[in-house]
Amino acid sequence: MRVITFDQPGGPEVLHVTETDPAEPGPGEVRLRVEYLGINRPDALFRAGLYPVRPTLPWSRLGIEAVGVVDAIGAGVTGFAPGDRVVAGPIAQQSRHGVYGELAIVPAAEVVPAFDGVSAETTAAVWMAYFTAFGGLVETGGLRAGDHVVVTAATGGVGLAALDVANQAGAVAIAVTRSAGKRDRLLAAGAAHVVVTSDEDLEAEVRKVTGGRGAEVVFDSVGGPRFPDTAAAAADNGTVVAYGWYGAEPAALPTRWPVKILGHNGFAYSTDPAALSRIREHLARGLAAGAFRPRIDRVFEGLDQVTDAHRYLDSGHQVGKVLIKLGN
């Protein structure tokens, strides 16, 4: 079978296709025949050696999200059988269980049934994006109806999902982007307001649309030295949920108090079957009601395009989810 591996941290060029013999799933594991891969920011950070969990080198696997069909199950696995379509992720141990490959062996605890009546492609666009957005905004951030919420990196898969989650919750979504050319697309995606930080001051604009209060929740995946500027958009006693970062620079500590800063770690949910099931059911209801509308920016074809997919992700040009399709 063909899998993606890398032997040293770096840019997309370190990824390569490797031929290896299929392995059998061990106790508590399932083997998937992969149909779609979700290409996510943690994948790129892990590849570059910038993630909190460092890759085990050489011959590290990669990838935290896949949709596929169960091909085999290991001892002790219940609830899944060969032929079941499932979603895997978030995968906590990428070096060992990374899903970039024709087949992937993953812990059964990190797998949930796919959504009924939803295509494999749409499922791949939904799972990690909405899992992160709902978990971060509602379960960690405590988002409520009537709240204003600032969403940074709003044109990414999670950012767009966060707009849907905010609207479903009855909150007012304020999308943040660096590009004026993305304003109209964000408004069409459900943002009530858009702040273009290349032309506008984030704190001033947020206070303008909130009557001077600031936002009750700020949902941030950028971090870095400008983190205090992002946190300054929060209301007094507001909540800033940090769920990611874009580079190696550490986030500076905001000095504008009082504000509550929380870190959201989706991997904490991935080892909690009850939490996975709870979030899956919420996402299924949102899809059925039409409240969740996953946007796919681009679908790459086959493992041979993994380098191109990562270059595209790194470019920051996408508006929505980036996927790789495998098989027919």
Under DSSP, the state recorded for 67 is E
Integer Cα distance of 156 and 239 in angstroms: 21
Integer Cα distance of 264 and 268 in angstroms: 9
Integer Cα distance of 165 and 129 in angstroms: 10
Which pLDDT band, with edges at 50, 70 and 90, does 246 fall under?
Answer: confident
In CATH terms, are 2-114+295-325 and 131-267 the same topology? yes
* Contact predicate 241/137, CB 8 Å: yes
* Contact predicate 241/262, CB 8 Å: yes
**Residue 33, strand partner residues:** 69, 103
Q: Is the pLDDT of residue 37 over 90?
A: yes
- State the average pLDDT over residues 261-278: 87
- State the average pLDDT over residues 202-224: 97
Determine what percent of the chain is predicted with pLDDT higher than 90: 90
Which pLDDT band, with edges at 50, 70 and 90, does 63 fall under?
Answer: very high
Structure-derived torsion over alpha carbons of residues 99, 81, 25, 47, reported in degrees to the nearest 10: 10
pLDDT of res. 52: 87
Domain extents for the chain? 2-114+295-325, 131-267
Domain 2-114+295-325's class? Answer: alpha beta
- Starting at the edge strand found earlier in the chain, the sheet holding 234-242 runs 193-196, 172-177, 148-151, 215-220, 234-242, 259-263
**pLDDT one-digit tens code per residue, 177-199:** 999 999 999 999 999 999 999 99
CB neighbour list of residue 29: distance below 8 Å, 6 or more residues apart: 73, 74, 77, 105, 106, 107, 108
Residue 21, token pair as written in the block: 């013999």
pLDDT of res. 328: 58
CATH number of 131-267: 3.90.180.10
Residue 269, token pair as written in the block: 């949910």
Nearest Cα neighbor of 259 from 225, 296, 234, 230 is 234
* Contact predicate 263/242, CB 8 Å: yes
Angle, CA 126 vertex, CA 82 and CA 144 arms, to 5°: 130
pLDDT of res. 273: 83
Q: Which of the two residues, 274 and 195, has the higher pLDDT score?
A: 195
Angle, CA 275 vertex, CA 271 and CA 277 arms, to 5°: 105
How far is residue 101 from each of residues 76, 191, 231, 244, measured CA to CA in Å? 24, 36, 39, 25
Helix, coil or strand: residue 149: strand
10 Å Cβ neighbour count for 183? 17
